[in-house]
Amino acid sequence: MENQENNKYLGEENISKLLFKFSVPCILSLLISSLYNIVDQIFIGNSSLGYLGNAATTVVFPITIVATAFAWCFGDGAAAYLSLSQGRGDTQNVGKAIGNSIFLTFIISIIFLIFGFAFKDQMLFLFGASEASINLARDYFVIILSAFPVFMLANNVNGVIRADGSPKFSMLATVLGAVINIILDPVFIFGFNMGIKGAAYATIIGQIATFLVSFFYFTRSKTFKLTLNSFKLDWSLFKNVVKLGISTFITQMSIVIISLVCNIMLAKYGSLSKYGADIPIAVIGIAMKVFSIVINIIIGIILGAQPILGYNYGAKKIQRVKETFKKVLLISVIIGVISTAIFELYPELIIRIFGTSDDLYMEFAVLTFRLFLMLITFTCIIKLSSIFFQAVGEPVKATIVSLVRDLVCFVPLVIILPKFYQIKGVLIAAPIADVLGIIVTIVLMTQFFKNLDKEKVEKAKTLELENSSEGVIITISRSHGSQGKEIGRLVAKKLGIPYYYKEMISVAAQESGLDKEFISNINNSKDVLHDLFLTTSPVKYAIEAQEKAIKMISEKGSCVLVGRCADYVLRNNPNVLKIFITAPMDYRIKKIMEMYEDKKEDATKNVIKSDKNRASYYKLISGQNWGDASNYDLCLNSEIGKEKTAEIICEYVKQLKKTK
């Protein structure tokens, strides 16, 4: 009940207070993470290495993002798996999920090591290194690459630690590494005169510190324990982990593609201009780091708003959803406008932080800040809108908003525009992509809120649970069209015990404050990203609510429960009889045609889609395969008729009573 009260708090407390409470830690954590990418460039730019040193770190950066993409994909997937397991009160497989995530991250890091050392020059030239910067890039990359196992593992477990209920510890580990990097950079670069190698060593020592502190956490983890068996590969389980983390991977790899294409075009057209190849790459690296600071503030704000949006959307508290979005949007616009003003009016102030150089360098740097970052306010709105859509269970819209600006618009523009405008074409690609991206975002946002206003808010009627005698609790899982609901109702009638189907949803709604219709529809999404939809925050609240409702109902005594993974939720209850009902496909299609007056083609699609959704939902909730006979006590083919099927179940129950 404590968790339900915490959820209701999200629907009642002042939104500004909630935003401050949740967003500030997110912003601080993201800004601290940004320090790793920025500190090296500040000290390198102010050393004798100058812009060539910054160009060298810029070409290495996308390679580290590829490594981060794998680490975060596996780590965020394991963290999401942990969160879902906590919600259902089952952490049995969490240790193995996390152990598999760690082990495969380590394997990927070794592959990176082998591949990176074998093809280091080819990779660096691909990402924009020139003959002038290749030696510096190689020196920096070899040292950074040698610590990839530590770097990737530290990034992998960071999200897991947060999900285990220790966000402060997670932030402490990151802060420690960043502080060590900041302290050692000037010592190694200037004090020991180690140049770019000093920057690399300072970075990896910070990473090692973060790694050691992070892995120390596993000696005191709260909800799981790692054993040697945790690292034994379980592909079935790990596939589920990857599904939960794939959106993170896509986001990170889009950054890599953008960086790769941008660097290639800057090197190509820079060498044809008065600036040369290295100045544009050095400057764009600085611009992207500064850009990341602004964007991370925005992301921190909207990530903090996620639980507020998720709960209130699930509760269909439309005004609170709108109010939260408006506040986040207003703050983001203010931050974007202030940033734009600084970049347009005083770009030299920012540029000089990263060191000064000749007039050509400053000329291109000023041009870059004024053109490339011209519409950063639009970028802020696009980024927050993408995460907003994730928070309210709209992963398709989130993906469209995220990818349209970056991949669909920016990448082609970066390739096409330089043919007409030379090096400036690369710079103006960003604001044009921002304009196109904001148009798509506004259209999707307008459509979303228009539909939100039209939605009927159905308040759950108070439902008094029916007391029953102590005895068997029958859970019925069924394939679509097998008449499982009707069979369950017949069984309940024959045995004289309560029957629960929609009633479970009513109980969940009244206990959690969520909307009844929303809970009812969580497994009926037509989303092409259905698996991702099931991991969004409002759905998570709904899953928690219905699982608590199922347990409350079971405490009242013998009954029949249809669907909602009741068999898994009550798996530790000794009185549970788990039944799975199915039938041949032709039979089920025929029944769907009769019930809904569908054509055969529509009925077939309906059956396939529904079964797929149920399988995904069951896998997410239980980690097991839906319809696998080993998960049930009794599997029946309802083609014999619903009356006969119900009789068999009742007879089975009677035989069970005799054996006890």
168/59 same-domain check: yes
| CB 235 within 8 Å of CB 62 | no
74/196 same-domain check: yes
Q: Percentage of the chain with pLDDT > 90?
A: 41
Q: Label residue 154 by pLDDT band (50, 70, 90).
A: very high
Is 465 part of any domain?
A: no
252/311 same-domain check: no
Give CA–CA dist 157/75, Å, rounded.
6
Token pair in block for residue 392:
């309210």
Count how many residues are written for the chain.
660
Higher-confidence residue of 104 and 22: namely: 104
Query: Per-residue pLDDT for 88 more than 60?
Result: no
Model confidence over 602-637: pLDDT tens digits? 899 889 988 888 887 887 777 778 888 888 999 999
**Residue 115 Cα distances to 119, 141, 208, 210, 390, angstroms:** 6, 13, 22, 25, 35
What radius of gyration, in Å, describes the C-alpha atoms of the chain? 28
| CB 139 within 8 Å of CB 196 | yes
Residue 553, helix vs strand vs coil: helix
Query: Mean pLDDT throughout 75-79?
Result: 86
Model confidence over 432-475: pLDDT tens digits? 999 999 999 999 999 988 887 766 555 555 567 778 888 899 99
Higher-confidence residue of 85 and 140: namely: 140
Which residues have a Cβ under 8 Å from the Cβ of 58 and sit 6 or more positions away?
128, 263, 281, 282, 284, 285, 288
Is 468 part of any domain?
A: no
Q: Label residue 380 by pLDDT band (50, 70, 90).
A: very high
Which residues have a Cβ under 8 Å from the Cβ of 176 and sit 6 or more positions away?
206, 209, 210, 213
| CB 323 within 8 Å of CB 452 | no
Which residues have a Cβ under 8 Å from the Cβ of 530 and sit 6 or more positions away?
612, 613, 616
124/75 same-domain check: yes
Query: Per-residue pLDDT for 599 more than 50?
Result: yes
Give CA–CA dist 610/524, Å, rounded.
7
Question: Considering 226, 250, 271, which residue would you say is the last residue of a domain?
Answer: 271
**Residue 123 Cα distances to 119, 141, 203, 394, 641, angstroms:** 6, 10, 21, 37, 65
Nearest to 642 by CA among 489, 480, 499: 489
Query: Per-residue pLDDT for 249 more than 70?
Result: yes
Give residue 377's domain range.
Answer: 1-39+273-455
Give CA–CA dist 558/436, Å, rounded.
59
pLDDT at 526: 53
Neighbours of 575 (CB within 10 A): 15
Q: Label residue 533 by pLDDT band (50, 70, 90).
A: low
Give CA–CA dist 413/409, Å, rounded.
6
Is beta strand 473-478 parallel, antiparallel or unpaired with respect to 576-582?
parallel
pLDDT at 3: 47
227/83 same-domain check: yes
- Compute the mean pLDDT over every residue in the chain, rounded to the nearest whole number: 86
Query: Mean pLDDT throughout 381-392?
Result: 86
Token pair in block for residue 153:
């593992």
583/494 same-domain check: yes
Is 182 part of any domain?
A: yes
Is 461 part of any domain?
A: no
Is 304 part of any domain?
A: yes
545/429 same-domain check: no
577/627 same-domain check: yes
479/621 same-domain check: yes
112/231 same-domain check: yes
287/255 same-domain check: no
Identity of the residue numbered 367: L
Model confidence over 341-371: pLDDT tens digits? 999 999 999 988 887 777 898 999 999 999 9
Structural element, H or E, at residue 562: strand 559-562
Is 467 part of any domain?
A: no
Query: Mean pLDDT throughout 280-300?
Result: 89
Residue 500, helix vs strand vs coil: strand
Identity of the residue numbered 574: P
19/91 same-domain check: no
Detail the DSSP E strand segments found in 168-291.
none
Question: Considering 455, 485, 502, which residue would you say is the last residue of a domain?
Answer: 455
Nearest to 304 by CA among 205, 403, 167: 167
Question: Considering 228, 255, 271, which residue would you say is the last residue of a domain?
Answer: 271
Is 362 part of any domain?
A: yes
Number of domain units in the chain: 3
Model confidence over 9-63: pLDDT tens digits? 677 788 888 888 888 877 887 787 777 668 888 888 888 888 888 888 888 988 9
CATH of the domain at 514: 3.40.50.300
Is 463 part of any domain?
A: no
